[in-house]
Amino acid sequence: MLKRDQLHDYQNYCVNFIESHPESILILSMGLGKTAISLTAVLDLMFDSFEVHKTLVVAPLRVARDVWPEECRDTWEHTRFLQMSVIVGAAKERSAAMQKQADVYVINRENIKWLVEYFEQRHQPWPFDLCIIDELSSFKNYKSQRFKYLRKVRPFMKRIVGLTGTPASNGLLDLFGEVAIIDQGKRLGRFISRYREAYFKPGRQNPYTGVVYEYIPLPGAEEAIYKKISDISVSMKSKDYLPDLPVCLTVTHTVEMSPAEKKQYDKMRANLVLTVGDAEIDAANAAVLSGRLLEMANGAVYNEDHDVIRIHDRKLEMLSDLIEEAVGQNVLIAYWYQHDRSRILEYLSEQGYKVRDLKTAEDMADWNAGKIPIALISPASAGHGLNLQHGGHILIWFSLCWSLEMRQQTDARLNRQGQTEVVTIHNIVTKGTIDEDVLKALEDKNSTQENLIRAVRARLQ
């Protein structure tokens, strides 16, 4: 087990920042140890300064169930004295976990409403005086149920910490909800309309209805927003504080559809409808069309009856080549659609490969133990917090997705502290398709987020 004196200087800096700031946002690149930092601060606040009595951690389900207990109990010697109760599962299991005597209670974000109502129905006061939100970006939607219920009890908590590596993956508008749940509207205001008026101007909009599709920051707005939150924010990047982190290489592999396959793709893009044999595939609007085209770029598409219509196997062929080139090294494959998963399993199984999904804690442990040569992972359900760096260093993106946050979080499952090999990330891109647009869009989104991270980056002396 690691000892407290093995914490890095930057981690001790963050611990002190949390302890000296009742409201704090830590913008830390993946792999910098947000969980260890938070648990150390909790330990100090509870048993050194006695400022905190009960701590609530809100996290993605898998992270709440597996990562926090493991870090607390098995990774660090000084944190194993903290009593932790994990509030997941059916309502009866959650109630039992809530009734346990513990120092730290960990719950998945989908159950925030249940937790608030649990105390309301029993006419009991809110017991938590410190809340840690693991992945603050999941509270960017101020209209979401989780946001509304956590905001309801926010005044009863004297301390709150937001942890994230991707604070503005889709632009600076995301920051309104994230900052508001931390400071209750002190810095960016209490109303989204006022925030937009102060810092943005309408971009693309419907000329007939006036509906605005995009807001563009006003000149100087980014700097002004950064300055507003700089007193409660600290930002660090892995490359600045972990010089020994292995190099991460990204390689893009292009595949090309046959003329007949490309003709089907172009027809769908132009007409929003495609007939393949007796099956008809349609797209109701541009957003649906985007999904349809991504499916087709991957090699298959659902029809209106949710049957899978095969288009091509170009990506599967490239995937097989990349696995062969790995020469027996473990490979992690990221997929998006369920038909991608099914086709990957079928195709690789026919070639004699053993493939396994990473879904349960046992799956993760077996991967890290080197027992799974080829693993499948869905960025939508397994992006945040999972430590997979011990099981391999090769990640293949079979399916691309629009979300920069999911992309970065999934990449960081392998490219994080504890990795001993050069990480190689492969993108499989179908030429002349929406795949190319996705990669460009992700690069464009990242520029805004990089500006934010640079603006509030901590400079250690």
Domains and CATH numbers, the chain: 4-242 (3.40.50.10810), 248-450 (3.40.50.300)
Give the range among 102-111, 292-301, 450-459 with minimum mean pLDDT.
450-459
Q: What are phi and psi of 276, to 5 degrees?
A: -120, 105
Q: Tens digit of pLDDT for each residue in 334-345?
A: 999 999 999 999
H helices of 395-433, in order, are 404-411
Q: What percentage of the chain carries pLDDT values higher than 90?
A: 62
pLDDT of residue 459: 47
CA Rg value for the chain: 23
pLDDT of residue 453: 67
Residues with Cβ within 8 Å of residue 161, at least 6 apart in sequence: 18, 24, 25, 26, 38, 41, 130, 131, 132, 133
Q: Tens digit of pLDDT for each residue in 222-255?
A: 889 989 999 999 998 877 887 776 788 888 999 9
> Residue 29 carries which side chain, given as an amino acid letter?
S
H helices of 299-371, in order, are 314-325, 338-350, 361-368
pLDDT of residue 384: 57
pLDDT of residue 204: 87
H helices of 230-258, in order, are 238-241
- The reported pTM is 0.78
Element (H, E) at 160: strand 159-164
The 10 Å Cβ neighbour count of residue 210 is: 8
> Residue 36 carries which side chain, given as an amino acid letter?
A
Q: Is the pLDDT of residue 177 over 70?
A: yes
Cβ atoms of residues 405 and 164 within 8 Å: no
Report the candidate in 299, 313, 341, 322 with the shortest Cα–Cα distance to residue 253.
322
Q: Is the pLDDT of residue 108 over 80?
A: yes
pLDDT of residue 461: 43
Burial of 150 (0-12, 13-18, 19+ CB in 10 A): buried
Report the candidate in 188, 194, 190, 193 with the shortest Cα–Cα distance to residue 229.
188
The 10 Å Cβ neighbour count of residue 80 is: 15
Q: What are phi and psi of 31, to 5 degrees?
A: 95, -5
Cβ atoms of residues 413 and 377 within 8 Å: yes
Q: Report residue 420 as tokens.
A: 């001993």
- Tell me which residue has tokens 């719950």: 107
Distance CA 105, CA 373 (A): 35
The 10 Å Cβ neighbour count of residue 218 is: 13
Distance CA 85, CA 64 (A): 10
pLDDT of residue 303: 78
Q: Is the pLDDT of residue 125 over 60?
A: yes
Contacts 24+ apart (CB under 8 A), 290-293: 290/402, 290/434, 292/268, 293/265, 293/268, 293/269, 293/433, 293/434
Cβ atoms of residues 203 and 216 within 8 Å: yes
Report the candidate in 61, 64, 6, 74 with the shortest Cα–Cα distance to residue 37.
6
Cβ atoms of residues 174 and 137 within 8 Å: yes
Distance CA 46, CA 84 (A): 13
pLDDT of residue 405: 83
pLDDT of residue 277: 67
Give the range among 181-190, 263-272, 431-440 with minimum mean pLDDT.
263-272
pLDDT of residue 445: 76
The arithmetic mean of pLDDT across residues 160-168, rounded, is 89
Of 342-351, 378-387, 437-446, the range with the highest mean pLDDT is 342-351
pLDDT of residue 305: 76
H helices of 169-220, in order, are 175-183, 192-199
